[in-house]
Structure 1
């Protein structure tokens, strides 16, 4: 027996047709009067439209806020980068001589340690 392939298009078509049939049956078999059903449908439709407008307004606000953040970052980023670069240069200017002094002192300490080691080896009794 050969299996039939089931596609998304077939499902969508069946879903839409089933929705219309179910909606029509609900309208025909509804326990409310036609006026009550129409009013309920109109109320739901109004609520849905209101939700869409609210969604549109919220999306517009999000887009506006995004544009504001984008503009602020475009305005502030170059000056912030410049300030950080200046601070780095200033730090290097102040600390480079200090680092050089520390390096010189380390060379002296290593030399003195080497001399001390040589003196200790020279004064040790040889067995």
Structure 2
């Protein structure tokens, strides 16, 4: 499969133009609003709070609590990977590329590699 070179894809150009027109017509920023920041905090807490509880030994002797927290961590990992890191790598948190880049590195914490993801998802 081959894709048109950048700037030579009328479908892509039309979609981008329409999306930008929508944001402008509705006076909406294309960058993170407060709901997105709340979602980000929720996903991080969903991973780190159960992790801290497990690591500090609070689940000793209670396998149901351990497995329940383990499942919550799974939802947190999924949310971090499919929501936080993905949005950051597409530049949706801030107009500053460095902010998006640093947020995308949250993938490193859950075992991924942000640079590799950017290359495979955005380039290939």
TM-score in terms of structure 2 length: 0.25
* Higher relative contact order, structure no. (Cα contacts within 8 Å, ≥ 6 residues apart): 2
Report the TM-score when normalising by structure 1. Answer: 0.24
